[in-house]
Amino acid sequence: MKFIVSSSVLLKELNSIAGVLNASNTLPILENFLFSITKKELVVSASDLESTMSTTITLDKSDKDGKIAIPAKLLLDTLKTFPEQPLTFVVNGDNFGIELVTDNGKYKLAGQNGDEFPKSPDLESPAKVDLGADVLSNAVNKTLFATGNDDLRPVMSGIFFEIGKDNLTFVATDAHKLVRYRRSDAKGAKAASFILPKKPATILKGLLSGKDGDVKVEYTDTNAHFSYNNVTLVSRLVDGKYPNYDAVIPKENPNKVTIDRNSMLASIKRVSIFSNKTTHQVRLKFAGNEMHVSAEDLDFSNEANERLSCNHDGEDIEIGFNSRFIIEMLTNIESENVILEMSASNRAGILTPSEGNDGDEELLMLVMPVMLNN
């Protein structure tokens, strides 16, 4: 089997699917890219068994159909050193040896039988929905940081996609923080839901960042299939029932604070340097139209206090949060001002952007408080 392909085109396409590759694999064949040729069309796949990514390239020239597994790291490292030029691949069908011929040299690689590469699952009569690349990218960006890492609660280790007839809701939580991102400009033909694991969600975030166009999403009870331009991602879904996230969002929050997002973020970043290194606790005290931010580390006699002006509607309240969670949330909100709503010092706080939540998108972030040590 012999085919010719542009070096820069091949490198660009391989980079777009290389995120699936694992550093260590249970199956040695997964350390390879699978090259499959059908009628001058090259499909390159990478897999970690949970997810499979493929990209399609139209070839300048190929003599016959076939498939071969090529060592991924070796091929990527080699391609990165080439200037733009046509590359000729000559594959020996008997011993799976590969000869790579360029303008100024020849390179030999040991490939493997492409038939041994795991097959991507076929989706039988899947449900379908089309999403704008920017919508999906935004949803993953806003929620991914809130997913959990607890192996005992795998349902929390992914993003919950809730497809409704009126809107789409994306939720992530690790039991300490929760993010709900809702779009009213996208909906499905019928109600459905699934949990996408963290790794394929991270890959989607990279693939769709700053892109236009539509992503075709197909899903069954066990797998989801995302197609964008010439790239496809098939992922096994997390099995299990997602927790009832609506039940943990407090509905009555008499204390409402509006504050400049950048000022609050900078203040908490500074003050948290002086916080306890185990709890990362910062104390927020709201009195009148002022927010007092403080932290202390009694083990080292470190202490910090700051005062910020804010717009406070409600009674005086004092509440403690893990500073890392608040910093992550404020970083993932884009509006100039944020609204912090609270009911009591032992109940969750709700953080929302003060602008932009009345259009097609609605963002809500919830953070659990930490016990204040008086």
Find tokens 């717009």 and name the residue.
311
Do 249-367 and 127-243 fall under one CATH topology?
A: yes
Q: Which CATH superfamily is domain 127-243 in?
A: DNA Polymerase III, subunit A, domain 2 (3.10.150.10)
* pLDDT attached to residue 374: 61
Cβ contact 366:349 at 8 Å: yes
Say what the pTM is. 0.92
Residue 183 per-residue DSSP state: E
Query: Do residues 48 and 20 touch, judged by C-beta distance below 8 A?
Result: yes
Q: Which residues of the chain have pLDDT under 70?
A: 356, 358, 373-374
User: What are the residue ranges spanned by the domains of the chain?
Assistant: 2-116, 127-243, 249-367
| DSSP H or E segment with residue 66 | strand 66-71
| CATH annotation of 2-116 | 3.10.150.10
Q: Classify 283 as helix, strand or coil.
A: strand
Which CATH superfamily is 249-367 part of?
DNA Polymerase III, subunit A, domain 2 (3.10.150.10)
Residue-wise pLDDT tens digits, 317-361? 999 999 999 999 999 999 999 999 999 999 999 999 998 676 788
pLDDT of 104 reads 85
Q: What is the pLDDT at residue 185?
A: 84
Distances (CA, A) of 69 to 60, 231, 332: 20, 19, 40
Question: For the segment 102-142, what is each residue's pLDDT rounded down to a tens digit?
Answer: 988 999 999 999 999 999 888 888 889 999 999 999 999 99
**End-to-end CA separation in angstroms for the chain:** 75
Q: Provide the pLDDT for residue 352.
A: 96
**Which of 194, 178, 202, 193 is CA-nearest to residue 238?**
194
Q: What is the pLDDT of residue 249?
A: 93
